[in-house]
Structure 1
Amino acid sequence: MTNLAQSPDVDRRIYIARLAQNIVDPAQVILGYQELITEEVRELGPSDALPDLERILSAARQLNLLIGKLFDVEAPQAGNVPAFDAVLRHDLKTPVTAILGYSEMVIEDFADALPVHVLSDLSKVVYETRKLLAQIDETPDSSILKEGQAPSVEFDGMIAANLVRTMADRSPIAAERAGRILIVDDTLSNRDLLCRRLGREGHVVVAAASGEEALRIICEQDFDLVLADILMPDLNGIELLARLKSDRRFRDISVVMVSGLKDDAAVTRCIEAGADDYLRKPIDPVLLRARIAACLERRRWREREKQYLAQIEFEKQRADALLQAVLPKQVVSRLAGGEDVIADRIDVVTIIFADIVNFTEFAARTSPADLVQRLGDLFNRFDELADQFGVEKIKTIGDAYMAAAGLPNPRPDHAAVGVAFARALIAETSVCTDHKPPLMLRIGIHSGPVVAGLIGRKRFIYDVWGHTVNVASRMESYGMPGRIQISETTFDALGDRQLAAHREVMDIRGIGKYTTYLL
């Protein structure tokens, strides 16, 4: 493993990271609080305090501008170390002194007139300004880089070094107006400021002081967006981002990274890891609002896309279910496989025709609603029996029900199954329902070759044709009420399953002399 402390480039990056942690954050907090204070005093008063507050705000902006210029250089090189230290030690102290002086004067002069929460915020500005002065004084002289010495490995240095290691590790990572936002920052003032600003804009805001805490919260609550600082002790922002994007549960959460680092490598690493955006400190409130709005809008569109896809899948399943209710599942599969023409010659099947006896008279004395309901209930029960016996319903023709055994997949016991199905139909029809008189069927069956296929573009149907169909229809029309008439071909196909039957040679129209069996 590479010794980071011995690399001059790494030393410079750690030095810049430490400065960003110690100086950029407090300056950002001072500006953020002062913007809030000035806005609220403009709304609530007292107006006499506004001139000094405007001076504080101007000094805070100048401070952040100077810091921004200071960190425009990725790290101080040997030739500009003195200039770097001059800005750090001297130039920054001018606006800092103005902020501190004017803030203390406003607190002293307007303590009785300012709202309590504004006084509290001013006290925070004073506290952060004094802390910033102390940080400037305590920051190690950058000349140590010129001498080739490594920065002291203090706690904040360890944070920065950890960040460098994360950025160097490029292992692959499985990549709404108001929203629920999680703010992750180890600096309390940063968290408080962002929570208040975003809360005022209508967002529901939750804060976490570390990456590990953020992961625990995300496991318990739903969020639309995470605002994560890069420099954190236990789990830096890039590592947190990687953990979120590698977890299927959280990878769709928008993540915006926040940092005072001016290092383009940090921006690149965040984008590679799946960040939706990157904001540099000090954060411009207008830019922050725009970036959050854009991220939330993208998330809303992703959610809509999921809903649309789910709806499409639901409708597809409904369409498939409807198609399978109309066509044999094997035919549906062939259509889905791309076949344009469904047509098959099947060597032997058994065709069953069942017709309700005296249906015309029954229909004449029954109301339309009752007629449709009675016929619908009966044919629904027939459909259930067809599924039970493995028979394929072909169609209904008025009061006639047509089915086939042995298609679309051939089966050797087609005749026995067809006869058993017919007997079940007669038994079902003879049952009285809702105190209504039973109906009576006449059934005809014949076995032989057919052509089966799908016809039509509208109200299409899977149908069968051929001499076998015509003979089966004649077996029904020449049959007797409550009985099953089968052809000699079907009777012979029953084999050892033949039933007691009355044999008769009939003169059938369009066919001639034909041997039939009445069951």
Structure 2
Amino acid sequence: MVQSADIGHRVQIARIAQKIADPAQAILGYQELIIEEVRRQGPSEALPDLEKVLRAARELNALIEGLLGTQPSETGSISLLRHDLRTPMNAILGYSEMVMEDFDGSLSERLVADISRIIDESRRLLAQLDKAPETSSFYSDEKTSDEADATLAADFVRTMAARSSASPEKVGRILVVDDTMSSRDLLARRLGRDGHAVVVAGSGAEALRILETQKFDLALADILMPDMNGIELLGHLKSNRRWREIPVVMISGLKDYDAVVRCIEAGAEDYLPKPIDPVLLRARIKACLERSRWRERERRYLSEIEFEKERANALLHAILPGQVVKRLAEGEEVIADRVEMATILFADIVNFTEFAARTPATVLVRRLGALFSRFDELADEYGMEKIKTIGDAYMAAAGLPDPRPDHAQAAVAFARALLVEMARATGPEPPLSLRIGINSGPVIAGLIGRKRFVYDVWGHTVNLASRMESYGIPGRIQISQSTFEALGSSCMDVHQEVMEIRGIGKYITYLI
């Protein structure tokens, strides 16, 4: 209870100091900005008075910072502070108002606003100081006059008391780098007591050699080392892909703000001054390890997301042409193209219905799947675009979505390869034959559907290609007049026929 009361007293003191410190820090911050602005743009004649305001603001903050070190047994702190603050506050107010009067008209709007803000903050500081209760009242049985601060202190005490119910400490593998044997030994013993696995290195070079063969969750590195200082070691770690994710806490007796900033800029996770407070060390290491584990989880989740994304992308490429996938990724909503000249191919397995009726489902699906998978491979080999399968029929196109001048030649070569594959694939099973029809001409190609994307083609050219197949002969390739003309001199060994085709009438076809 004594400890809880002491924490409560310190919180109340800190709250009073904070209420006074906030406007004081604002004054100092704005005054620094004002001087920077005047040095760049003028009026330079105002600088002497503004420098006096800056010195007074720094003195003001130093006095207030002293209140934070007040012990519970000390009394009269606020009374003394009220008296001591008058001098810098009077200087800030007096010189700021003098600058506003003397340089009226030559100050920019921003400078006028900032100086006015300093004057307002100074008056607010005086008001806060006059409201502050005596420090001695914290230690009597009487209630503080500021009920809000008392409530805040009580809440903080309860929060501190609830810390014991937190989750158990997490441990990790820690690399300690320090050229002083006693320092690294002390650190290793402290960390070992907390259950961490600790490896020590006496120099930056030794630390790099250890990292080549071992993995660590955290590194503690001294800044001042002879062969390679801590900032240089940090640079090596952050520039190496294998080590850059290791959190590094810098440790040093160097009381230099610039060194701290440089370490954080170079990628340090945290900074601890020497001599190291064991409680603070434990808290910082726990926080670093927890952040490291969260980052590892994030990397794992991102990796899983990327894997699923790649898998979905591969599936999309298996269903749609690559160019169409790219257009979808770029946000194109309606994908539709008029292709002036392409060649459409239909291949249908003859008597497949009778074969399906007497064949077990698993055998049927396995045989058809193996056959069409081989057709897909041949389509890639001959530069054909598979459109779809319709039951036991296979539909492909040449010359879309990317145009090609030899679309007819590619389709006929692909058709011949299909017949060869069909003959090769029969084996001991009941023989199956293929009937193929080809037609060339203009088509409409596009993507339809949202639940299940389908890239399809439409038009008279597609319908006639289907007729070429359905009126064809098993084991042969039947092509239309337009395909025959597109083939030109490359068409050899064909048999011309005149057929009566439903919906079209008499039509000249060619059998290959």
| Counterparts in 2 of 1:468 and 1:259: CA distance versus 1, 3 Å | same
TM-score, length-scaled by structure 2: 0.64
Of residues 257, 261, 267, the one that matches 2:260 is 267
C-alpha change, 1:469 and 1:285, in structure 2 (3 Å) is same
Distance in 2 of aligned mates of 1:386 and 1:232: 66
2:191 aligned with 1:191, yes or no?
no
Q: Tell me by how many angstroms 1:459 deviates.
A: 1.4
Match of 1:278 in 2: 271
* Correspondent of 2:466 among 456, 463, 473: 473
Please name the residue that 1:179 is paired with. Answer: 172
C-alpha separation between the residues in 2 aligned to 1:428 and 1:291?
A: 69
1:424-475 CA-to-partner distances (Å, cap 9, x unmatched) read 1111112245521221111111111100001100111110000001111111
Q: 1:225 to 1:361 in 2, by over 3 A?
A: same
Match of 1:394 in 2: 387
Unaligned runs of 5+ in 2: 1-65, 70-168
**How far has the Cα of 1:512 moved from its partner?**
1.0
Partner AA of 1:334 in structure 2: R
- Which residue of structure 2 aligns with residue 355 of structure 1? 348
Counterpart code for 2:483: T
Equivalent position of 1:102 in the other structure: none
Which of 241, 249, 262 in structure 2 is aligned with 1:256?
A: 249
1:405 aligns with 2:398: yes
- Which among 204, 224, 230 is matched to residue 237 of structure 1? 230
Instruction: Give secondary structure in 1 for the equivalent of 2:424.
Output: coil
Q: How has the CA–CA distance of structure 1 residues 387 and 258 changed in structure 2, closer, same or farther, with 3 Å as cutoff?
A: same
1 CA distance for matches of 2:256 and 2:347?
A: 84
1:344 alignment counterpart: 337
| Secondary structure in structure 2 of the residue aligned to 1:241 | helix
Q: Which residue of structure 2 aligns with residue 517 of structure 1?
A: 510
What's the counterpart of residue 419 of structure 2?
426
Q: Aligned-pair distance for 1:309?
A: 2.1
TM-fit CA distance, 1:360: 1.0
Closer, same or farther in 2 for the Cα pair 1:410/1:261, shift >3 Å? closer
Among residues 187, 205, 218, which one is paired with 1:212 in the alignment? Answer: 205
How far residue 308 of structure 1 moved from its aligned partner, in angstroms, is 2.1
Tell me the amino acid that sits aligned with residue 286 of structure 1: V
SS at match of 1:293: helix
Equivalent position to 1:328, from 321, 332, 347: 321
The code of the aligned residue for 1:364 comes to A
Q: Residues 197 and 514 of structure 1: is their aligned pair in 2 closer, same or farther, counting only changes over 3 Å? A: same
Per-residue deviation at 1:387? Answer: 0.8
| 1:288 to partner: Cα distance | 1.2
1:275 positional shift: 1.9
CA contact (8 A) 1:483 1:518 kept: yes
Consecutive unaligned residues of structure 1, counting only runs of 5 or more, are: 1-68, 73-175
Q: Structure 1 residues 430, 269: CA separation in 2 closer, same or farther (over 3 Å shift)?
A: closer
When the two structures are superposed, what TM-score results if normalisation uses the length of structure 1? Answer: 0.64
CA gap 1:333/1:187 in 2 versus in 1, 3 angstroms: same
Distance (Å, rounded) in 2 between the aligned partners of 1:434 and 1:483: 20
- 1:373 aligned to 2:366? yes
Task: Indicate conservation of the 8 Å contact 2:426/2:432, yes or no.
Answer: no
Q: C-alpha distance in 2, partners of 1:242/1:488?
A: 73
CA distance in 2 between partners of 1:231 and 1:413 (Å): 73
Map Cα deviations across residues 135-167 of structure 1 (whole Å, 9 max, x no partner). xxxxxxxxxxxxxxxxxxxxxxxxxxxxxxxxx
The one-letter code matched in structure 2 to 1:388 is E
Counterpart of 2:316, as a letter, is L
Using the alignment, how far apart are the partners of 1:190 and 1:434 within structure 2? 80
Separation in 2 of the partners of 1:272 and 1:491? Answer: 72
Q: Which structure carries more relative contact order (alpha carbon 8 Å, separation 6+)?
A: 1
Name the counterpart of 2:166: none
Match for 2:281 among 279, 288, 299? 288
Q: Which residue of 2 aligns with 1:495?
A: 488
Could you tell me which of 475, 484, 492 is aligned with 1:482? 475
1:384–1:190 CA distance, 2 compared to 1 (3 A) = same
Please give the alpha-carbon distance, in whole angstroms, between the structure 1 residues aligned to 2:334 and 2:474.
Answer: 39
2:435·2:474 contact (CA, 8 Å) conserved in 1?
yes
Cα distance change, pair 449–265 in 1 and its aligned pair in 2 (3 A): closer
Letter in 2 for 1:402: M
Identity %: 73
How far 1:499 sits from its partner (Å)? 2.2
Shift of 1:509: 0.7
1:226 Cα deviation after fit = 1.3
Q: What amino acid maps onto 1:226 in structure 2? A: A
Give the secondary-structure state (helix, strand or coil) at the position aligned to 1:431. Answer: helix
- The corresponding residue for 1:445 is 438
Letter in structure 2 aligned against 1:455: I
Q: Distance in 1 between matches of 2:246 and 2:446?
A: 51
Please give the residue correspondences for 1:10-409 in structure 2 after superposition, counting only pairs within 5 Å.
177-409=170-402
From the superposition, tell whether residues 232 and 518 of structure 1 become closer, same or farther in structure 2 (CA, over 3 Å): closer
Deviates more, 1:492-501 or 1:252-261: 252-261
> Partners in 1 of 2:180 and 2:227 — Cα distance?
13
Q: Deviations over 1:110-132 (max 9, x none)?
A: xxxxxxxxxxxxxxxxxxxxxxx
Q: Residues of 1 paired with 2:238 and 2:418: CA distance?
A: 60
AA aligned opposite 2:469: E
Total equivalences in the alignment:
346
- CA 1:466–1:305: 2 relative to 1, 3 Å: same
Amino acid at match of 2:196: H
Query: Aligned equivalents of 2:271 and 2:369: distance in 1?
Result: 65
How far apart, in 2, do the equivalents of 1:496 and 1:256 lie? 78
* 1:235-271 Cα deviation digits (max 9, x unpaired): 3333333333344443322111222344434333332
Asked whether the 8 Å contact 2:348–2:392 carries over to 1, the reply is yes
* Higher alpha-carbon deviation: 507-516 or 302-311: 302-311
Residues 1:364 and 1:196: Cα distance change in structure 2 (over 3 Å): same
Compared with structure 1, are the counterparts of its residues 339 and 488 closer, same or farther at alpha carbon in structure 2 (3 Å cutoff)?
Answer: same
* Contact 1:391/1:405, CA 8 A, preserved across alignment: yes
